[in-house]
Structures are given as C-alpha cells and as structure tokens.
Amino acid sequence: MKKIKKQHAALLIVALIISFQLIRSAVEHYNARRHYLSEVKNITHFHTPKEEQTLKKLLMDPILPGETFLHSDNCKGCHGYDSAQYALITEDSVDMNLFDDWRATMMANSARDPLWRAKVSHEILVNPSHANELQNTCTSCHAPMGHYTSKYKGYPFYTIADLMNPSDSLGLDGVSCVACHMIGEPGLGSMFSGDIPYDTSHVLYGPFTGVQTGPMQLYVAMTPTWSSHVSEGKMCSSCHTLLVNSVDLAGNPTGNKFIEQATYHEWVNSTYPGDQVVCQSCHMPQAEDSVRIATGYFGIPKHFPFNQHVFQG
Ligand code: HEC
Ligand code: HEC
Ligand code: HEC
Ligand code: HEC
Ligand code: HEC
C-alpha cells in the first residue's frame, strides 16, 4: 500500500516538472515571438518590395507602410455571410450580414457609378482648366480611401486616372467599411464637402463597448473601439453637405459658394435632432433581435441594437 502511494507521489512530481517545463518553454516562445514581431514592425527600409510584403504578411498586418485604409475584402471574412448560421442572423435565421447588405448600396458603388463618372468627365470638358481640382473634389466623397491615401502621401491631386490604376483598389472600393468606421470625432459636424476627419491611428469606431479586440488586432491590425459619435447624425456630415466654389462662364472663380446639396443641414434644421431621430434611425433600420456581429468566434455575445447596413435612399 505504502509503496504504491510513493510511486504515485513520484509520478506526480515528474508530471509537475514536465508541465512546468512545458509552460516555461511556451512562455519563452511567446515572448521571443513578440519581441521578434516588434523588431520587424520597426523596420522602415526593406531590400525589395517583395521582402517587405512577405514580412508584413508574416506579421498578419495587411496595412503596408504609408498606407492607412483597408479594402472591404478584409472585413468580409468575419462580417459577411455566416455559413454556420451563428452570427449576423436574427432569431428566425434571417441573414443580416453587414458585407452583403452594404455591397448592394449606392455608397459601395460610389466610385464605379457610371453616372458619376460621366458627370466628372462632363465637368472636365466644360472646365478643362480646373480638371485636376474638379477630380480631386469629386473623389473626396465618391472614392474617399483612394483620395485620402494620396493626400496623406502628399500628392496634390487624386484623379480618375489614379482611381483606374490597377494597383489602386482602395479608391474603387467607394464609401467602404473603413471609410466610415475610421472617421474620428474631433471636427466632425463642422467639416463638410468631403473634408473628413479620419483618425489614422489604426482604430475603427463602433457603437458597442467592451467588444473583443484580439481578432481584429491580429488579422487587420486595427482596434475596434467604442465611441458615441458613431451613433450620431454628424457621422454622415462630412459627405452629405457639399458646398462648391462657383465659377463664371469663362471659368474664373467668382469667390462665391454654391450649395450643391445640404442633406445634413436639412436634417440639423428639422425637428428630428430634437426627437433623437438621426440619419441612422431611418437609413440603418435596427433589427428587432439582438445579433452576434462577427462570424467564426464562438462565445461572443449578441448585441442590441444591431444596425442594418442597407442605406436605402
Ligand atoms: C461632399 C461629398 C461629395 C462630393 C465632394 C461630391 N459628391 Fe457627388 N454625391 C454625393 C452624395 C451624398 C450623393 C448622393 C445624393 C443623393 O442621392 O441625393 C452624390 C451623388 C452624385 C451623383 C448622382 C449619382 C447617381 O447615380 O444618382 C452624381 C452624378 C455626382 N454625385 C457627381 C459628382 C461630381 C461630378 C462631383 C465633383 C464635382 C461630386 N459628385 C462631388 C456626395 C458628394
Ligand atoms: C456609411 C457609413 C458606413 C459604412 C459604409 C459601413 N458602416 Fe458599419 N456602421 C456605421 C454606423 C453609423 C454604425 C452604428 C450605427 C448606430 O449605432 O446608430 C455601424 C455599425 C457597425 C457595426 C456594429 C453592428 C451594427 O450593425 O450595429 C459593425 C460590426 C460594422 N458597422 C461593420 C461594418 C462593416 C464590416 C462594413 C463594410 C461591409 C461597414 N460597417 C460599413 C456606418 C457605416
Ligand atoms: C478576424 C475576424 C475579424 C475581421 C477580419 C474583422 N473583424 Fe470587426 N470584429 C470582429 C470581432 C470578433 C468583433 C467584436 C465582436 C464582439 O465582441 O461582440 C468585431 C467588431 C467590430 C466592430 C464593432 C466595434 C464596436 O465597438 O462596436 C466594427 C465597427 C468592426 N468590427 C469593423 C470591422 C471592419 C471595418 C473590418 C475590416 C477592416 C473588420 N471589422 C474586420 C472580428 C473581425
Ligand atoms: C465618405 C463619404 C460619405 C459618408 C461618411 C457617408 N456617405 Fe452616404 N453617400 C456618399 C456618396 C458619395 C453617395 C452617393 C453615391 C452615388 O450615388 O454614386 C452617398 C449616398 C448615400 C445614400 C443613397 C442615396 C440615394 O439616392 O440612393 C444614403 C441613403 C446615404 N448615403 C446615407 C448615409 C448615411 C446615413 C451616412 C452616415 C451613417 C452616410 N451616408 C455617410 C458619401 C458618404
Ligand atoms: C425620419 C427619417 C429620416 C432621417 C432622420 C433621415 N433620412 Fe434620409 N431619407 C429618408 C427617406 C424616407 C428618404 C427617401 C426620400 C424620397 O425618396 O423622397 C431619404 C433620402 C435620403 C437621401 C437621398 C435623397 C436626398 O435627399 O439626397 C440621402 C442621401 C439621405 N436621405 C441621407 C440622409 C442623411 C445623411 C441624414 C442625416 C443627416 C438623413 N438622411 C436623415 C429618411 C430619413
């Protein structure tokens, strides 16, 4: 009897030592990898673009140096259709996935829109001396991620030719997920005509507090962050009031502003703001049920209210 107990004790000690060693090596491995990743992250110069891309992929950081935005394809995997029927559906299994709803909207197609392209070409024909300024203005709302990438890189204009460049997929992505969710609060509500206060510190603002941040930090290198401005009318203000500089028939600036459209100001001056009825209340109808907002993560909670991305006009 005594002998068996001794054997048990010995086994236990051996098991303890082995598990201690395993944990220690796992922690060491983790720390070493973190150190390695932080070192690579700080490298600013690479031998070749390919080397840079490979290393960045290794880091699972899809944002290349000098870039700010991400294409909606990066959001589709976790915020698109859930074949497991677990997230982005109602209690009755009605699909409400964010990607497919958004994909069909005017905003998702704002840079492909043939009427818009035709109108830009027409404006250039009428005012050839303002061709660059015109295209730069028109792209600020219709192709915001292409326009602002170019602006942050210090280029003077972003044109239709830039938009059509096969290496630029961000411009064509239109008013996309990141083009809205990266809008920061300072200045919002007093900046119009495509002047958009982006927060370029790799955060994406959303309406919920306390969401899991790990998956997005790992796969898209951006942190989902709560902020109340996302649920306010001013979220739409930078692009839904357009004042343009007017020119005379000879193309000379008159110094006057022309109100091309002022949907945001029409709303501000209506009774809706006082009744807490914002743009989102009507254009992003809330689901009756609470909904899980990301696919592939079991155990995440359902959220209420869930705002559908249908944006009908
Ligand atoms: C401040 C943001 C902003 C800027 C800058 C802007 N637009 Fe727009 N544009 C919009 C919005 C918002 C709509 C949708 C309005 C609506 O449906 O009532 C729109 C709609 C349009 C449409 C109609 C598209 C359709 O399919 O119905 C055309 C054409 C257009 N814009 C041309 C232009 C041109 C040309 C320029 C540059 C001179 C320009 N836009 C600059 C915000 C902007
Ligand atoms: C035109 C701007 C706009 C675009 C484009 C947009 N969103 Fe949103 N999104 C919002 C706003 C505004 C809210 C919050 C609404 C509220 O709280 O009233 C929101 C809410 C969310 C939420 C929280 C869940 C919910 O629906 O309430 C997630 C997740 C989200 N968006 C992801 C995405 C993804 C992914 C895309 C692209 C497929 C996208 N958004 C495109 C404006 C936008
Ligand atoms: C690897 C999966 C994954 C990818 C890729 C991903 N997300 Fe998320 N997202 C999540 C998870 C998980 C949450 C938090 C869910 C929870 O805790 O309920 C979330 C939450 C959000 C929220 C809500 C934040 C809040 O505080 O309300 C927004 C907005 C959002 N994501 C936008 C995006 C956008 C835009 C992209 C594309 C650039 C994207 N996500 C890509 C998994 C992902
Ligand atoms: C980055 C600029 C931008 C932001 C931010 C933005 N919009 Fe838009 N929106 C546009 C442009 C550009 C169009 C026109 C696209 C086209 O017709 O080519 C548009 C079109 C629309 C339409 C469709 C109009 C129609 O005639 O079908 C609706 C509805 C709309 N926006 C609502 C919103 C709401 C609500 C918000 C805020 C949550 C918002 N938008 C934020 C740029 C923006
Ligand atoms: C009370 C509900 C409600 C609110 C609040 C609201 N809208 Fe609308 N909006 C509508 C309806 C309904 C239509 C379609 C009107 C029509 O077809 O005549 C519309 C049309 C539009 C259009 C396309 C036509 C146009 O007039 O330019 C855009 C763009 C738009 N809304 C953006 C916004 C923005 C941005 C806000 C907030 C600043 C907002 N809306 C607030 C209900 C609303």
What does the DSSP assignment read for 139-189?
HHHHSHHHHHHHHHTT-S---HHHHH-TT-HHHHT-S-HHHHHTB-STTTT
Atom 27 of ligand 1, residue of closest alpha carbon: 115
Residue 34: per-residue pLDDT:
59
Atom 16 of ligand 5, residue of closest alpha carbon: 313
- pLDDT at residue 232 is higher than 90: yes
- pLDDT at residue 54 is higher than 80: no
Q: Is the CB of 207 under 6 A from ligand 2?
A: yes
Contact 114, 132 (CB under 8 A): no
Window from 85-99, 125-139, 243-257 with minimum mean pLDDT = 243-257
DSSP assigned state of 107: G
Q: Which pLDDT band, with edges at 50, 70 and 90, does 58 fall under?
A: low
Residue 259 β-bridge partners: 243
Q: Is the CB of 267 under 6 A from ligand 5?
A: yes
213 Cα to the center of ligand 1, angstroms: 35
Residue 51: per-residue pLDDT:
75
Q: pLDDT: is 272 or 10 the higher one?
A: 272
Residue 313: per-residue pLDDT:
87
User: Is 0.85 topped by the overall pTM?
Assistant: yes
Atom 23 of ligand 3, residue of closest alpha carbon: 206
> Which residue is associated with the tokens 């395993």?
22
Q: pLDDT: is 22 or 55 the higher one?
A: 22
Nearest to 200 by CA among 67, 302, 80: 67
Tokens of 26: 């796992």
Locate the ligand 2 atom nearest the alpha carbon of residue 235 and give its number.
Answer: 12
Contacts of 275 (CB under 8 A, 6+ apart): none
Tokens of 77: 């995997």
Q: Element (H or E) spanning 103, and its range?
A: helix 98-103
Q: Which pLDDT band, with edges at 50, 70 and 90, does 19 fall under?
A: confident
Window from 159-163, 167-171, 223-227 with minimum mean pLDDT = 167-171
Cα separation, 32 vs 266, in Å, equals 57
* 286 three-class SS: strand
For residues 172-199, give the mean pLDDT: 97
Q: Is the CB of 123 under 6 A from ligand 1?
A: yes
Parallel/antiparallel/unpaired status of strands 223-226 and 242-247: unpaired
Name residues contacting ligand 4 (CB within 6 A). Answer: 106-107, 110, 113, 116, 141-142, 144, 175, 179-180, 196, 235-236, 238-240, 279-280, 283, 311-313
Q: Which pLDDT band, with edges at 50, 70 and 90, does 29 fall under?
A: low
- pLDDT at residue 60 is higher than 70: no
Locate the ligand 2 atom nearest the alpha carbon of residue 98 and give its number.
Answer: 38
Tokens of 250: 């000879």
Q: pLDDT: is 197 or 51 the higher one?
A: 197
Count CB neighbours of 212 within 10 A.
Answer: 13
Q: Is the CB of 242 under 6 A from ligand 1?
A: yes
* 102 alpha carbon, closest ligand: 2
239 Cα to the center of ligand 1, angstroms: 9
Window from 20-34, 68-82, 160-174, 210-224 with minimum mean pLDDT = 20-34
Q: How far is CA 97 from the centre of its chain?
A: 16
Q: Is the CB of 158 under 6 A from ligand 2?
A: no
Residue 33: per-residue pLDDT:
56
144 Cα to the center of ligand 1, angstroms: 12
Contacts of 86 (CB under 8 A, 6+ apart): 292, 295, 298
Residue 163: per-residue pLDDT:
96
Q: Which pLDDT band, with edges at 50, 70 and 90, does 4 fall under?
A: low
Peptide bond into 215 cis (omega under 30): no
Q: Which of 82, 98, 291 to mutate to test the pocket of ligand 2 (most atoms within 8 A of CB)?
A: 98
Locate the ligand 1 atom nearest the alpha carbon of residue 238 and give its number.
Answer: 1
What is the per-residue pLDDT across 146-155, written as a single tens digit (0 to 9) for each? 999 999 999 9
